[in-house]
């Protein structure tokens, strides 16, 4: 029996993988174009669009004024007319200025036009804290958009998924928010060289097999969860399975449930606030679907429920980190203090 040869891969950073996805789709489809603040000559605040303005010019890579509501609205109009705009919002925090356009318009166009008009719009934006950017620039509220019917939301954690999910989003006929993470941009990983390799939207990935506890996370929290899983094995002999959600809407509950049914314990990790958050939704679904399988309550760990402080020591105290995740996992396993009872 013949065995298919493994596909060729190249090592690159998350930032480079996002850029590659946009370049490939710009070459593949003339209806694709980019919009955003300073994404052209300046090459973007995080240099994700480096080189694209020189290669494709000002029609395909469009500089916008500092007016998120205005240029997101323009992108929606372009998408309704059949183009495929990819909008960069400098940080997820700034998308609040365009909230009406995203939630009241992009998300509802297909429904309100009876399916006769679509909105193949992609908005990509970084989120997260850890860079002393204070309360208004360090938030992770992708849950606002995952809460909204009509929108799709993806949050890749690896360079391979960053490229594959962005390509899938650009080719999709619905509006999609692609949430990146400031801390993820420098991560390196293997990325398939196949220009048509895409990652299915709505499909989680088991990134580490285990038998004692399931860690469920997305975006940079999924990277943290993998590190913590290694620490649990090395320091405590614990076999932790990690499920990277990758897609927040649609949400792959089946993969999560299958994992928890095997390990009998679950901890949900979220870089946003836990109350009413992504982890709250996952916890609820696990508790219902795995009620008879659970050996302990499903728990969650997230950002301290305060505006992000500027002082470095306070910012560190507020953020989710590896130590907090490890302590929470040990608590769920009954191998450490019960940190959830207070």
pLDDT tens digit string along 221-275?
Answer: 999 999 999 999 999 999 999 999 999 999 999 999 999 999 999 999 999 999 9
pLDDT at 234: 96
Mention every residue, 6+ apart, whose C-beta is less than 8 A from residue 204.
Answer: 243, 244, 245, 246, 247, 252, 255, 256
Domains annotated for the chain, with CATH where assigned, are 13-192 (3.40.50.970), 205-333 (3.40.50.920)
Question: Taking 80 as the threshold, does the pLDDT of residue 95 lie above it?
Answer: yes
Active site residue 137: yes
Which of the residues 37, 88, 137, 218 is marked catalytic? 137
Average pLDDT over every residue of 46-70: 96
Which of the residues 16, 24, 37, 68 is marked catalytic? 68
Active site residue 147: no
Q: Cα separation of 328 and 307, whole Å?
A: 22
Per-residue pLDDT tens digits for 131-188: 888 888 888 999 999 999 999 999 999 999 999 999 999 999 999 999 999 999 999 9
Question: Taking 70 as the threshold, does the pLDDT of residue 4 lie above it?
Answer: no
User: What b/e readout covers 28-60, taking b as 16+ CB neighbours within 10 angstroms?
Assistant: eeebbbbbbbebbeebbebebbeebbeebeeee
Per-residue pLDDT tens digits for 316-337: 999 999 999 999 999 999 998 8
Per-residue pLDDT band at 342 (split at 50, 70, 90): low
- Which pair of tokens denotes residue 301? 């760990």
Tell me the pLDDT of the chain averaged across its residues. Answer: 94
Per-residue pLDDT tens digits for 266-323: 999 999 999 999 999 999 999 999 999 999 999 999 999 999 999 999 999 999 999 9
Q: What is the pTM of this model?
A: 0.94
């Amino acid at each position: 029996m013949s065995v298919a040869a493994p596909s060729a891969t190249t090592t690159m950073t998350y930032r480079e993988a996002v850029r590659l996805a946009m370049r490939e789709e710009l070459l593949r489809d003339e209806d694709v174009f980019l919009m955003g603040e300073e994404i052209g000559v300046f090459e973007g605040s995080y240099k994700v669009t480096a080189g694209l303005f020189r290669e494709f010019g000002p029609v395909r890579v469009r500089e916008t004024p500092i007016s998120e509501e205005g240029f997101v609205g323009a992108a929606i109009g372009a998408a309704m007319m059949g183009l495929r705009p990819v909008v960069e919002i400098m940080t997820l925090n700034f998308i609040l200025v365009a909230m009406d356009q995203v939630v009241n318009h992009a998300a509802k166009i297909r429904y309100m036009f009876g399916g006769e008009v679509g909105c193949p719009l992609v908005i990509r934006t970084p989120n997260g804290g850890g860079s002393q950017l204070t309360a208004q620039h360090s938030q992770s509220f992708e849950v606002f958009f995952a809460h909204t019917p009509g929108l799709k939301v993806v949050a890749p954690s690896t360079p391979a998924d960053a490229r594959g999910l962005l390509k899938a989003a650009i080719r999709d006929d619905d509006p999609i928010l692609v949430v990146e993470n400031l801390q993820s941009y420098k991560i390196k990983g293997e990325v398939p060289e196949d220009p048509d390799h895409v990652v299915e939207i709505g499909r989680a990935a088991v990134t580490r097999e285990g038998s004692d506890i399931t860690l469920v996370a997305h975006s940079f929290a999924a990277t943290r969860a993998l590190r913590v899983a290694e620490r649990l094995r090395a320091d405590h002999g614990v076999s932790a399975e990690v499920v990277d959600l990758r897609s927040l809407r649609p949400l792959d509950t089946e993969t999560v449930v299958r994992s928890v049914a095997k390990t009998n314990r679950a901890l949900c990790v979220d870089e946003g606030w836990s109350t009413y958050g992504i982890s709250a939704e996952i916890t609820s679904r696990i508790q219902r679907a795995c009620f008879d399988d659970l050996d302990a309550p499903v728990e969650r760990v997230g950002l301290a429920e305060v505006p992000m402080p500027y002082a470095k020591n306070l910012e560190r105290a507020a953020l989710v980190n590896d130590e907090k995740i490890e302590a929470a996992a040990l608590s769920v396993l009954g191998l450490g203090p019960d940190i959830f009872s207070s």
